Amino acid sequence: MSRTLLYTIVFIEGFCSLGAEVIALRRLVPHIGSSIVVTAPTIGFFLLALALGYAAGAKVAGNYTAIVARNFLIAAALAGIGLAGVSVDWMFAHLQPVLVAYLFFIGGVLCPLAWLLGQTVPILTNLMKHARTGEASGLALYWSTLGSFLGSVSLSLLVMQWLGVSAAVFACALGLVIGSLLLAQRNGKIIAFSLSTAALAAGFNLQHDVTADTAYAEYIVGDVTLSGQQNPRAFWVNKSTASLIDDSEPPNYTRYIKHLRQILLDDLGFRNKEILVLGAGGFTLSHREPLNRYTYVDIDPAIRDIAEKHFLREAVTGEFIADDARRFIATTERRFDAVLVDVYSSHTSIPSHLVTREFWAGTRRALKPDGVLLANLILDGKLESPYARNLLATIESEYGRCAVDVLHKGKPVSNVEVICFASSRASKTGIYVDEKNQADLDRVR
């Protein structure tokens, strides 16, 4: 084998192996989020499978190109079918609990793919007959790692952003098919299976039924049935209903948006105020609301165009800034009359760096001295879970006592609206008891 062909093959291996890992992490976001307890085990399992692949490849003693071609072909099928949106959605819909679906996805798709591709470098270095061992392995690892770098960067920042995750899956599978064809050496069976695999990958990925698919989220806009509403439609972000709107005059919105509007416009009487919204959703908070000025911050630069074209079907009211919420509040010099936190990556999952005390301190920094913080949280309706209690305690450790409204008290999961004031401070509290009751003194103070 020529060096050019060998380096091309190991480059494809690196590009597609790390590309598959990036895609896998993105596919998991709508189902189990992107917290460290998800990403760390996923990366760990991938590296373990890759290490086992290195060991397996080191034991191969002949028929080198045929084995690598076979591995590429199987890996292409695993990527093209197993990483397809419809396949991952099926796993998490039918394999319960969620941990079972996750382990099936990792053990049945990602790890076998990594194990197969991990064999490539140790197998093909056997064909570098006129190179020192160190030179052969070093150059092979160089091209493989260069492919990994370009695969992770190009698939996440270019392909996913402009064409969607499904296109990235197809590109990964197609790269492996091309590698298999380069190694086929006119083998009719490999050529036929390679073309069939490419066709299957195209069928599974190029017809993914979503409105838009970016590196950050999967967006679906579709009609829903709601009593008393005129042509209602929903805006789903990563399988979670982010917004609702209909064609009534005035339009109907989700209950929590109506509640937040009531707080801002009626209870607080906001007029001509600056309102910062962290997490754009469907941009319905400011929809046809001319009394105040709204600034939306969302990490996905594509969300505004998607909402305008498919959901609102008109221009967004307010300014839009594509940025991470925590970074924005830490760096902005602007101060707002209200900051609304409505950030979710999937279902009930808030990114972990947006629940800490440091984040809530950052929201206070972005407020004017008499400003108000509003947070839309999705918690258990009774606020009994450790997560609910700890999250509320974290917010109040920075803001002091806050008002808490549970909108769906009879449901296991509910929108919970938290309202805090920048003028408040956390302070030491006490408990009134019969023996030493200071309630009257406190009232006087």
b (16+ CB within 10 A) / e for 407-423? beeeeeebbbbbbbbbe
- Distance between CA 404 and CA 402 in Å, rounded? 6
User: d(Cα 50, Cα 262) in Å, to the nearest integer?
Assistant: 54
Strands 274-278 and 293-298: parallel
Segment (H or E) for 278: strand 274-278
Strands 319-322 and 218-223: unpaired
End-to-end CA distance of the chain: 87
| Tokens at 303, concatenated | 């969300």
Tens of pLDDT, residue by residue over 307-343, are 999 999 999 999 999 999 999 999 999 999 999 999 8
Amino acid 271: pLDDT? 95
Burial 357-370 (b: 16+ CB within 10 A, else e): eebbebbbebbeee
The per-residue pLDDT for 208 is 65
250-421: CATH number: 3.40.50.150
Query: Can you tell me whether residue 433 is helix, strand or coil?
Result: coil
Place of tokens 């929903």: 234
Instruction: For residue 53, give the nearest of 123, 104, 151, 125 by alpha carbon.
Output: 123
What residues contact 81, with CB distance under 8 A and at least 6 apart? Answer: 87, 200, 201, 204
- CA neighbor of 376 nearest in space, from 412, 413, 411: 413
Secondary-structure class of domain 3-208 per CATH: mainly alpha
CB within 8 A of 225, min separation 6: which ones?
232
For 2-6, the CB contacts below 8 A with 24+ separation are 3/128, 5/182, 6/124, 6/127, 6/128, 6/140
Question: For position 3, what pLDDT does the model report?
Answer: 83
The pLDDT of residue 131: 65
HSE (side-chain half, CA atoms, 13 Å) at 207: 7
Q: Torsions phi, psi of 375, nearest 5?
A: -130, 130
Q: DSSP string spanning 192-211?
A: HHHHHHHHHHHHHHTT---S
Neighbours of 258 (CB within 10 A): 13
Kindly give the interhelix angle for 36-58 and 111-118, rounded to the nearest 10 degrees: 40
Helix (H/G/I), strand (E/B), else coil: 381: coil
Q: In this structure, how many other beta carbons lie within 10 angstroms of the beta carbon of residue 24?
A: 24
Domain ranges of the chain: 3-208, 250-421
pLDDT of residue 17: 95
Strands 319-322 and 233-237: unpaired
Low-confidence ranges of the chain (pLDDT < 50): none
